[in-house]
Chain A
Amino acid sequence: MQASARYKEPGQKLVQARIEYDSEIRAVEILGDFFIYPEEAISLIEKSLLGMRVSSSKDELAERVRKAASENGIEMIGVTPEGIATAVYTAMIA
């Protein structure tokens, strides 16, 4: 299945998740008008969410993103791990 959801966290930029999933997330694309440094590292954040079960909680999704960011020295401005997690979660339950 394919799904997409947008989320605007107060005080942050818009974030959108496009996902493909069955019982697990098979593909993820994170879009929006935020900033990620270095920019190429967005693929590492997207990759960190692959294989997550559709029953995952927002916290579990956010933890994956947080870990990928800290392990790879990624700086996120205008978007948070929780914001990305919320967009992905919303897409999954839609």
Chain B
Amino acid sequence: MKWRIIGLEKHDAYFNMAIDEVLMEGIRGGTSPPTIRFYGWSPSAVSIGRFQSMEEEVDVEKCREIGVDYVRRITGGGAVYHDTAGEVTYSIAGSESEFPKGIRESYAYICRYVINGLAGLGIDSEFAPINDIIHKGKKISGSAQTRRGGVLLQHGTVLYSLDVRRMFSVLKVSKEKISDKQIRAAEERVTSVSQIKDVSINGLYSALLGAFTEDKEHSFGIWSKEETAAAEKLRIRVYGTRRWNFNR
């Protein structure tokens, strides 16, 4: 099995979500190879989980005011602020047979790549089920997975730097969630690579790239014209629409 690697690139939220779905469809139909991609968000964006309410999770007015995109993901999980300079995001998509059968096990399996990448930078971290990676008890990475038609896609983000004030200006953090974790300040729940190590965002990307690819036959590639065209269509039809983004 040879994997295609799409190196770090930046797109807006709608393309980022659309190309992931296109990739799954392409792998299912045999027109896209199994792929690992690294990307960022330009402009900054908030993504919410499949089952969340945009209006309850996101200060949409504030997003409009400061030019932050907002999009519903294909995957479950929680709301995430993706700062344009503050994170490296990955997606890995391939046949389900490439991964452990169980969903919980496959989260752990794929998150291991992130943990190994961080270890390469000298950052100790551990998997915190269901879908988080923590460093000294603070979240540094979160992931979400979906499966359809025999294809598994997991995407996740590794925090490079953190502008907490900006993050909480666009996210509406629930009191229940904070109280359950017995943490008074929401800011204390998360950390980032640059707070722990003096490394550039490209250094983080290189470490993740190395960890994701070290056990795989792979080569660098680009999106096909068909893939980008399909993603543009999907942006117009789904991810850029109010009907999708506000459907709960």
Contact = CB atoms under 8 A, between A and B. Distances in A.
A34 B76 contact: yes
A33 B51 contact: yes
Contact of B176 (A8, A36, A39): A8
A31 B51 contact: yes
A30 B176 CA distance: 16
B219 interface: no
Contacts of B180: 8, 10
Contacts of B130: 13, 35, 77-78
B146 A39 contact: yes
A34 B77 CA distance: 5
Residue of B53, B76, B77 with most chain A CB atoms under a 10 A cut-off? B76
Contact of B177 (A8, A10, A35): A8
B49 interface: yes
Contact of B76 (A7, A29, A35): A35
B56 A14 contact: no
A30 B131 CA distance: 20
A36 B174 contact: no
A80 to B, nearest CB: 13
Q: Chain A interface mostly helix, strand, loop or mixed?
A: strand
A92 B195 CA distance: 45
Contacts of A8: 176-177, 179-180
B74 interface: yes
Contacts of B144: 35
A73 interface: no
A31 B78 contact: no
B209 interface: no
A29 B174 contact: no
Nearest to A32: B51
B103 A35 contact: yes
A82 B52 CA distance: 19
Contacts of A30: 51
B166 interface: no
Residue of A8, A29, A33, A34 with most chain B CB atoms under a 10 A cut-off? A33
Given A14-B174, A77-B130, A39 B74 contact: yes
A37 B103 contact: yes
A42 interface: yes
Contact of B52 (A31, A39, A78): A31
Contact of B248 (A29, A34, A37): A29
Given A38-B148, A39-B76, A33 B176 contact: no
Contacts of A33: 49, 51-52, 76-79
Interface of A: 6-8, 10, 13-14, 16, 29-39, 42, 75, 77-78
10 contacts: A35-B76, A35-B144, A35-B145, A36-B76, A37-B146, A39-B50, A39-B74, A39-B75, A42-B51, A77-B104
Interface of B: 49-53, 56, 74-79, 103-104, 130-131, 144-148, 174, 176-177, 179-180, 248
Given A14-B177, A35-B103, A77-B130, 13 more contacts: A7-B176, A8-B179, A31-B51, A31-B52, A31-B248, A33-B51, A37-B146, A37-B147, A38-B147, A39-B146, A77-B103, A78-B76, A78-B130
